[in-house]
Structure 1
Amino acid sequence: MPVNKYYSAAFIAFFLWGFFSFALKPLHNYASLDILFYRVFFSVLTMVTINLAFRRNVLRKDWRQFKSSTLRQKRSVISLTLGGAVFLILNWFVFIYVVNHVSVKAASLAYLICPILTTVFAFFILQEKLSKIQWIAVMISLFSCVLLSFNHFTDIFYSLIVATTYALYLVSQRKNSQMDKFLALTIQLLFTAVVILPFYPSYSGALPTEPLFYACMFFVVVFFTIIPLFLNLYALKGINSSAVGIMLYINPIITFLVAIFYYNEQVSTLQLFSYFLILISIVVFNAKALFSRRILLLNKK
């Protein structure tokens, strides 16, 4: 199957996530835990309904495959799926807190650091190989993140937590290739819901009554949770986690532009230069895939 559709899936996922603050910012008066609770519960309800209504054949097929697997394979699938759920829920909670209580730019910085960590984790954990030019792209990215960290140490602290949790999620799900991606995501969210449900009565606020809350949660669940996460996992079927990780830069670039032009957050010349370097690093990292395809199309003409 052509590689470009996996790149397209990753691009669309991270492009959508770049506008996540549009749905989160109107909810800044709600506690981060409340937003997390309802995001998880509504996502689970939606995904379980989709699986039971439209994907029963996939459920039966994956269940037969799981039962016929060896004990070692079963343990691997379970640990990777549930471990991914832990990384995902930590990432969500800290990200929501950062957007609503630190700054949109800090959330953007987290996903600038994430591709570097993803590449490093993939290199050491998955033994994914990178070419010299891809390592150059990683170094350019690292340099740009160092520039962005100047005088923003609080942002760096939160950004590192967000970045590390999502990088580990990406790497773990690259290895989790034996299960249908949509089903895996459903199980992860269902597991997360079961884990956080006991905390809901004690740590949740009053039941939201504003229509705005439920309208925003609809967009959070559909456009900023189910669709991009599925596209992200789908992309991991065809391209390695390092490539998906570097595509993650699309998210913070859009988030950064939104922070400047929509939320009017202050930006320095140094920050603009750093983001320009990141754009260069994306092109350099994906140069082979981008330009080899272009040359192929020219030869066909």
Structure 2
Amino acid sequence: MRVKGARSGREPDNRGVLYGIGAYGIWGLFPLYWPLLKPAGPLEILASRVIWSLVTALILSVFLVPRSRWRRLLNRRNTALLAAASITIALNWGIYIWAVNSDRVVEAALGYYINPILSIVLGVVLLKERLARLQWVSVGLAVAAVVVLTVDYGHPPWVALTLAASFATYGLIKNRLDAGAVETLTVESGLLAPFALGYLLLLHFQGQLTYGQGGAGHTALLILAGPITAVPLLLFAAAATRIPLSTLGLLQYITPTLQFLLGVVYFGEAMSPGRWIGFGLVWAALAVLSAYGLHRARRRRRDDRDAIGHGSDAGDIGSVGRSWE
């Protein structure tokens, strides 16, 4: 999956690394937040997150998004892509909130471990990309992990697979857009807002809405869903323009690792021997994938240095937006 603006041929910028750690760290700690919003149900939490994400994004866009960027973004093609992106991210958010509040944090973490591998599979199926041998090894190990976990659970790990598929699809769609985090969040949440508001009104008329009924603290926590959605996106965008894709690719494992640790240590979710074996296979797949990505990144940097030494046009060096494979 490509990251617009990420640097592929330079050494990591310390601030960029910190921004990346901040973004992935916040995402990794989300399982601590969603249970605080009970007794609100997952759909009410999702609807509130959409509404307050829109409010937050609109405020940020006033200060951070020039008018010219809106003119470039809002055309028929991009609007269709953003509509598709809004559907996939709503599915991802909703399933994740439900999983966390249903004591399935570990399975949710599995989804985000699988996501980079599934992104590669989508590249092969939809973009006709060719994989190196080590990438095929990584995919094979991930498939074996799913088989093992299916036997252990007694059914496929649907939560993990749905989260991975929805987020990989979301990343693929966003890859087709050359736009920043704030404006895309604004449009996506704006497209979802009428449905979210309609659902909240329905709950209100049915007397089941918890917003405004559970005290000031509960209401404040629901409102906070907007800022905590926007802040890690901004940190990620800042990191992506400052550090190489290989570094960003390694940092992404902070999120599922924190989720996994929270699920096992803090929430006390059971890990059977079969689940340890399944997760071990996934970790092995990611180790292979990361080693291959680091090898490719080092080779590109060496090629770039050689090209500079031979007087190549510096504008062709370290092209923006290369895949971390």
Aligned to 1:226: 230
Alignment-mate amino acid for residue 182 of structure 1? V
- How far, CA to CA, are the matches of 1:250 and 1:12 in structure 2? 10
Counterpart contact for 2:117–2:138, Cα < 8 Å: no
1:22 to 9, 28, 32: 32
Counterpart contact for 2:54–2:190, Cα < 8 Å: yes
1:251 aligns with 2:255: yes
Change (3 A) 1:147 1:9: farther
Number of equivalences: 287
1:269 to 247, 269, 273: 273
How many angstroms does 1:143 deviate by? 2.0
Range 165-174 or range 237-246, more displaced: 237-246
Range 26-35 or range 151-160, more displaced: 151-160
Counterpart contact for 2:40–2:210, Cα < 8 Å: no
- How far, CA to CA, are the matches of 2:19 and 2:136 in structure 1? 24
How many angstroms does 1:47 deviate by? 1.2
Change (3 A) 1:42 1:216: same
Aligned to 1:119: 120
How many angstroms does 1:254 deviate by? 2.1
Alignment-mate amino acid for residue 136 of structure 1? V
CA deviation string 1:214-235 (max 9, x = no partner): 4544654333x21334455677
How many angstroms does 1:203 deviate by? 3.1
Counterpart contact for 2:47–2:200, Cα < 8 Å: yes
Gaps of at least 5 residues in structure 2 are 1-5, 306-325
Aligned to 1:70: none
- RMSD (Å) for aligned C-alpha atoms: 3.7
How many angstroms does 1:241 deviate by? 11
TM-score, reference length from structure 1 = 0.78
- How far, CA to CA, are the matches of 1:8 and 1:126 in structure 2? 32
Change (3 A) 1:151 1:277: closer
1:62 aligns with 2:66: no
How many angstroms does 1:271 deviate by? 2.5
Alignment-mate amino acid for residue 110 of structure 1? G
Alignment-mate amino acid for residue 190 of structure 2? L
Change (3 A) 1:114 1:84: same
SS of 1:264's equivalent?
Answer: coil
Query: Whose RCO is larger (CA < 8 A, sep 6+)?
Result: 2
Aligned to 1:142: 143
Aligned to 2:3: none
Aligned to 2:170: 169
- How far, CA to CA, are the matches of 1:229 and 1:8 in structure 2? 14
- How far, CA to CA, are the matches of 2:72 and 2:80 in structure 1? 17
Aligned to 2:310: none
- How far, CA to CA, are the matches of 1:235 and 1:124 in structure 2? 29
- How far, CA to CA, are the matches of 2:182 and 2:28 in structure 1? 22
- How far, CA to CA, are the matches of 2:85 and 2:250 in structure 1? 19
Q: Give aligned-pair identity as a percent.
A: 25
How many angstroms does 1:274 deviate by? 3.2
How many angstroms does 1:38 deviate by? 1.4
Counterpart contact for 2:54–2:185, Cα < 8 Å: no
Aligned to 1:195: 195
How many angstroms does 1:35 deviate by? 0.8
CA deviation string 1:5-27 (max 9, x = no partner): 78886665444322211001222
1:41 aligns with 2:48: no
Alignment-mate amino acid for residue 226 of structure 2? V
SS of 1:151's equivalent?
Answer: helix
Change (3 A) 1:245 1:165: farther
Counterpart contact for 1:128–1:240, Cα < 8 Å: no
SS of 1:176's equivalent?
Answer: coil
Alignment-mate amino acid for residue 133 of structure 1? L
Counterpart contact for 2:211–2:218, Cα < 8 Å: no
Change (3 A) 1:273 1:212: farther
Change (3 A) 1:97 1:143: same
Counterpart contact for 1:167–1:245, Cα < 8 Å: no
- How far, CA to CA, are the matches of 1:254 and 1:149 in structure 2? 23
Aligned to 1:71: none
Gaps of at least 5 residues in structure 1 are 68-73
